[in-house]
A and B are shown apart, each in its own frame.
Chain A
Amino acid sequence: MANSNAEYIQHHLQNLTFGKIDGTWRIAETTQEALDMGFWAIHLDTMAMSLLMGFVFLFIFRKIAKRANSGVPTGMQGFVEVTVEFVQNMVRDTFYGRSPLIAPLALTIFMWILLMNSLKWIPVDVIPSIAAAIGIPSFKYVPTADPNATFGMSIGVFMLIIFYSFKVKGVGGFSKELAFTPFNHWSLIPVNLVLEILGLLTKPFSLALRLFGNMYAGEVVFILIALLPFWIQWSLYGPWAIFHILVIPLQAFIFMVLSIVYLSAAHESH
């Protein structure tokens, strides 16, 4: 029983990996095979679900954007405008520079993560069961519980931080900031460099790991609840799902706000 439980959990946490093994490109059958594929493999489930959620977001928002007018907003337009205004206010309060990219970036981060996170409300066995029925060995359907997705986004934000740091402060200014803060003395340049570069590199890691950790842990708890006898599951599943009404938007919100804060810091020249 213990073994089958471990297998059950393992199976639910296994991504559908497509990669090269033993000289052929195919879908990994076991966890070990997926690991053996190394870096040149791709998680089909993460890609599919995240792209789907991205398209859902852009489809809805684009549809509203096309017929946006200054009249009385109705239905979906109201929801979209509330979201846009919320992000706009957030950016206005946090980000003091002027950039046409930051606000749409923040909206994309927020809505995309929100949609990907909200896949967690689907009971853990529904999608893997359907996948199994059509011959797919495993399907982990919450992209944000896959570090590849969260790191993909946080590295994107990190690249923008570096880009804007160089653009706003210049190569000299940015190097000077790295070398002379927090201790403004030439003899402490190595210490400063270590501290600043560590601080810089911490940003994408904290962003990605916070989101991944929350979603992964939540997922594990959902799977553990699913291991209980069916007649008691509701007593734990209910509260945990309700709790995620808080967790899911909160994580999306934190990722968005921290991205804005980091990019705002990149725009500030000393």
Chain B
Amino acid sequence: MAINMTLIGQLIAFAIFTWFCMKFVWPPITNAMDARQKKIAEGLDAAGRAERDLKLAQEKAAEMLRETKQAAAEIIEKANKTGNDIVEEARQHARNEGERLIAGAKAEIDLEVNRIKEDLRKQVSVLAVAGAEKILGATVDAKAHNKLVEQLAAEL
């Protein structure tokens, strides 16, 4: 229990242990820990950045999808409109063509009717002249009475 030289021995041992710890134990361990801390901080930072990037990319993708959908809808609408237009145009065209055909046919018919009428008129005037000759017993000079006949035919 007495204080003796052990005290000095302990003091020396303590000094050597502390020196060794300061020189060969403490620095490598704390350096490694600091390096790890830095690494973890960087990792977390990178993770945060990646998360932010991902969010941005997702937003961008959603935006693009929306735009694309809108564009597609517009195209479809346009196509529908164009289709309708074409159908409408075709219909109009057909109608016009039909009308034109009908008009043509009508004109032709009218022409024919007029021609026949003219023909008939001419024949009537001839008949009338013939009838008048018969009645008058004389020849009606077609040339001389041409004017009259013409008038008659026009009156018919």
Q: Residues of A at under 8 Å CB distance from B?
A: 13, 15, 17, 19, 34-35, 37-43, 46-47, 50-51, 54, 57-58, 61-62, 64-66, 68-71, 73, 80-81, 84-85, 88, 100-101, 103-105, 107-108, 112, 143, 146-149, 151-153, 155-156
B136 contacts across to A, CB distance below 8 A: none
Interface centre among A105, A152, A155 (most CB of B within 10 A): A152
Q: How large is the interface on B (under 10, 10 to 19, 20 to 34, 35 or more residues)?
A: 20 to 34
* Inter-chain CB contacts under 8 Å: number: 137
B7 contacts across to A, CB distance below 8 A: 148, 151-152, 155
| Chain B interface mostly | helix
Residue-by-residue, is B1-36 near A (CB-CB < 8 Å gives 1, otherwise 0)?
Answer: 111111111110111011011101111111111011
Whether B3 contacts A148 by the Cβ 8 Å rule is yes
17 A–B contacts from the bound complex (CB under 8 Å): A15-B6, A35-B2, A37-B4, A41-B4, A42-B5, A43-B6, A61-B29, A65-B24, A68-B32, A70-B36, A81-B33, A112-B17, A148-B10, A152-B9, A152-B10, A152-B13, A156-B15
CB distance from B56 to the nearest CB of A (A): 31
B69 at interface by CB-CB < 8 Å: no
B39 at interface by CB-CB < 8 Å: yes
B30 contacts across to A, CB distance below 8 A: 84, 88, 103
CA distance A97 to B9 in the complex (A): 30
Q: Residues of B at under 8 Å CB distance from A?
A: 1-11, 13-15, 17-18, 20-22, 24-33, 35-36, 38-39
Whether B35 contacts A84 by the Cβ 8 Å rule is no
CA distance A39 to B8 in the complex (A): 10
| Chain A interface mostly | helix
> With contacts A100-B22, A101-B22 known, is A34 near B2, CB below 8 A?
yes
Instruction: Give the 9 A-B CB pairs with smallest separation, nearest first.
Output: A152-B10, A68-B32, A70-B35, A148-B6, A104-B22, A104-B26, A70-B36, A65-B28, A43-B6
CA distance A66 to B11 in the complex (A): 27
CA distance A71 to B35 in the complex (A): 9
The residue on B at minimum CB distance from A73 is B36
B3 contacts across to A, CB distance below 8 A: 39, 147-148, 151
Whether A81 contacts B25 by the Cβ 8 Å rule is no
Interface centre among A58, A103, A148 (most CB of B within 10 A): A148
> With contacts A46-B6, A149-B6, A152-B6 known, is A107 near B36, CB below 8 A?
no
